[in-house]
Amino acid sequence: MQTRVLGNSGLEVSSIGMGCMGISYGYGPAMDKAAAIQLIRNAFEQGVTFFDSAEAYGPFTNESLLGEALAPFRQQTVIATKFGFKNGDVAQGLNSRPENIRTVTEAALKRLKSDHIDLLYQHRVDPNVPIEDVAGTVKQLITEGKVKHFGLSEAGVQTIRRAHAIQPVTVLQSEYSLWWREPEKEVLPVLEELGIGFVPFSPLGKGFLTGAIDAETTFASDDFRNIVPRFSEENRSANAQLVEVLGHIAGDKDATRAQIAIAWLLARKPWIVPIPGTTKLHRLEENLGAASIELTSKDLATIESVLQQIQIVGDRYPAHLQQRVDR
């Protein structure tokens, strides 16, 4: 596995990371603990050094699982986690008050079985707490050695600039993929200007770009996609054209749709590190295989031409969650 450096920070990670949310939260029943630990360790054995978690994933169970799984290799890995919700519960709303950031950090260190957090994100921008206070608190934690790097998630350009002026932002994490290209408009240019790395979550469109989901697919009752407008039966049918096109491109490259989608992200900028998630070993291996796929300028031009002819239908979040995304 090749490595990449996230922006100007010097934070070096595997070129593809592992998003761990789905192991215990968001996409149906949580994995069996032993199987989850083995999957995470398989990822490490195949070269993944960058693992993404959050107190909200569970809540709390994902961090504990990751801490146990990576304990034998802790010094060889980069662990990212997040603060920003009341009691770690998304349903209870936002809380990025300085005292909560400190409480969450101390608890996360124990769950992760570590004396430091490599990358600490604000999970969502809290309109009730000035970003300067958030950045200042993380700056203190960095000074104390409890945190190494500061990150933001789904933050808009003004928030990024204001935070960066207080404590350099190492990474922005936001959704970015072949079917959600909004960051290209304003965010990516600012990241390049400021030397901030970018970590796209949902690089496979929450599974849709793999081709494994169609209009007939049913999700578990506790699967987040049940309330996502883009995953309504009607919109899945409308968006199938993108999956079909991906299939043609993948066939020409002797690859899978998922691999082309991830390889496309890797080709965008050298400081982009996608974090696909999975609960299956064969999908993990498939995702990591994208690192060895090189898309030529002709391939990229073909993809761009095709994308311009496709209109993706449906919002990526339900209205009540969309309000938490900072513009």
- Measured CA to CA, the distance from residue 122 to residue 130 in angstroms comes to 12
How many other β-carbons are positioned within 10 Å of the β-carbon of residue 315? 13
In 32-77, at which residue ranges do the beta strands (DSSP E only) sit? Answer: 50-52
β-strand partners of 171: 151, 197
Question: 3-class DSSP state for residue 98?
Answer: helix
Token duo for residue 45: 């054995």
On whether residue 143 sits in a domain, the answer given is: yes
Domain membership flag for residue 21: yes
Helix, strand, coil share (%) of the chain residues, nearest 5: 45, 15, 35
Place of tokens 């958030």: 134
CATH code (residue 17) = 3.20.20.100
Residue 172 falls inside a structural domain: yes
CA distance 39 to 306: 35
Q: How many CB atoms lie within 10 A of CB 23?
A: 28
Establish whether the linkage from the previous residue to 183 is cis, with ω within 30° of 0.
Answer: no
pLDDT number for residue 325: 64
CA-atom Rg of the chain in angstroms: 19
Residue type present at position 313: V
Is position 313 within any domain? yes
Q: What's residue 318's pLDDT?
A: 84
Query: What pLDDT, on a 0 to 100 scale, did the predictor assign at position 144?
Result: 98
Distance CA 149, CA 117 (A): 8
Per-residue pLDDT 10s for the chain (327 aa) are 999 999 999 999 999 999 999 999 988 899 999 999 999 999 999 999 999 999 999 999 999 999 999 999 999 999 999 999 999 999 999 999 999 999 999 999 999 999 999 999 999 999 999 999 999 999 999 999 999 999 999 999 999 999 999 999 999 999 999 999 999 999 999 999 999 999 999 999 999 999 999 889 999 998 999 999 999 999 899 889 999 989 999 999 999 999 999 999 999 999 999 999 999 999 999 999 999 999 999 999 989 998 898 889 999 988 777 656 665
Catalytic residue among 57, 121, 176, 317: 57
- Which pLDDT value is given to residue 323? 57
Pair 197, 274: CB distance under 8 Å: no
Note the pLDDT of residue 319.
78
Q: Is residue 327 domain-resident?
A: no
User: Is 121 a known active-site residue?
Assistant: no
248: number of Cβ within 10 Å:
12
Q: How many domains does the chain have?
A: 1
Range of the domain at 57: 3-322
The Cα-based distances of 161 to 77, 155, 171, 197, 257 in angstroms read: 28, 10, 12, 14, 35
Query: Reduced to 3 states, what is the DSSP secondary structure of residue 321?
Result: helix
Of residues 207, 190, 208, the one with CA closest to residue 198: 190
Q: How much is the pLDDT for 27?
A: 87
Domain assignment present for 294 = yes
